[in-house]
Structure 1
Amino acid sequence: MILPKVTFVEARGNVVRDCPGTRNHICCGYKTIDLVEGCILSCSYCILKAYINAPDIKITKDIDPILSQINEAIEAEKTHILRFGTGELSDSLALDRRYDLNRPLVEFFGQKKKALLELKSKWAYFDHLRECLNPYTVISFSVAPQRIIGQEEVRTSPLYKRLKAARRAQDAGCFVGLHLDPIIIYPGFEKDYHYLIDDIGRILDLKRVIWVSLGLLRFPPRLMDRFIEEGRKNLLHGEFIRGEDGKYRYLKAERIRVYEMLYRLLKSREADLFIYLCMEREDVWKSVTNITLAKNDDLAGLFDRRINQFYGGTL
């Protein structure tokens, strides 16, 4: 197996940015820390394949300017509790054991105590960080049925290892997040996702899961061509429509049906779970959750209340 070349680059411009979001869709106000660009994992549906042309992985080596940008963002925010993540342009943990990239960030957030850092991954190893973990770091895993992991998420950790790692994070005193994104529709997916949620409820303490995201498969046209060329049957099942952002999505009625199914299943395991939809319109939110969100700020407010519930209003 030939892995991508890793190069270190100087920090240029803003490394800390607002999540790009999608126009006329509800966004949660997430902040991204683009510490790494590119990924050694190889998920077939990864949107980076449409946006990053070079195969090399670039790591920004200057941590002080990054910490300064994070601090400026935190101090400038007067309304909401900010959430930051390193998983936008790469996997947060896949390279971390080798390069120890997250340690300065984890330590910074632990000292700052005014915002949260989320490390989101499909790679079930964070033990090298255990000694510096603190309550202000959320360890999160993207999860999917093992069938999808085995066929579409090459080089990633299997489901049981991700869930066991999430449990170890809970046992180490961290809150954890779960991301069911992208949810993929294929023959028999309902049963597979039912089993997935059974496994989640069996292995994790759901009362210490701070948030769960749901997001159905969406992708730009360049990936549609790639899926066809590679014969990706799992990813091509169902009807798609081009949205105003240019991405292909499942039809709205089908998205609502699937969201409702998963929302009910998760809530049946733990009624107090905080579940949010990633990049969906307010009418889909209303249909699935019976929550009315008119703007992004409304969802950020829901996150504030959830975080205050977990942290006792100390942030």
Structure 2
Amino acid sequence: MDNKFKLKDLPSLLKWTYKEWMADDAFGKAAAVAYYAVFAMPGFLIMVIFIAGFFISEESATGAITEQVSEMMGEKTANNIESILSKSQIDEQKFGAAAISVISLIFGATGVFFQLQKSLNNIWEVQKKPNSGIKQMLLDRIASMGIIIVVGFLLLLSLSLSAMISVLANWLSETFSTNMMIITVLGEFLLSLFIVTLLFAAIFKVLPDVIIHWKSVWIGALITALLFSLGKWLIAYYLSETNPESSFGASGALILILLWVSYSCLILFFGAEFTQVFTYKYGYEIRPSEYAEYTPEYILKHTDEYQTID
């Protein structure tokens, strides 16, 4: 087996990835996660804002989130998201109600990642052991909370680096008396790519019940981030030209959220498939964690399947 990646291998890797992606019913998995995401979204966003609120104001965090939503799904959807957030705040004056709200938010926010974990486990051909029990369920929830914390810190990092890029572009414009818009645009793109790569790497490494080499994680996360960044611009262009919200009336914002989450999951699952193909092609390994085991389908599969990509 050749352990060294060559650029000429990329087309065959992508071809094999596509076959696996279709065979694993990526569209069905994406639809399931999108369904969970609708109910988990308020809790997830509130938890992210709460974490970011330790370092910046909650208003700034909310503004950053709604700005991103506006760029991806339109201003009307962003306004609906902002309205949901404003109506979902925890009443800190009532301890009992606040405690119930916090627990509900945590389970709601982590539920979508729990479903995402099941999908990634299926793609990477592992499953939980029958006797994994309550301890593993709690560990799964903790892992999901870890991803939410990562999202909160990445939001902070994105805001900080974005501000630095703007300051640098302004300084260069004043120093050289020329428009440095290209630096701002390029800097924002590279920043977005960097942040999204970190997020996908965290998801691949933390969520599934597997032990996986970091090199495979980074390669898969980068490919996923590139596809996601490309698709984000295409979807934004499509939405700006077609305005699909008007076709669905009052439910337009909900439909857009479902479509966007489904698209994001399709890209994520493609990246997971690519990671698996890359791992087996170049001599790495995806092994079940302590509380997991290989699926029967994996055991029956020929061991040289990924070594003879054509």
TM-score of the superposition, structure 2-length normalised?
Answer: 0.28
Q: Which has the higher helix share?
A: 2
Structure ranking higher in strand proportion? 1
Query: Greater relative contact order (Cα 8 A, min sep 6): structure 1 or 2?
Result: 2
Q: Which has the larger radius of gyration?
A: 2
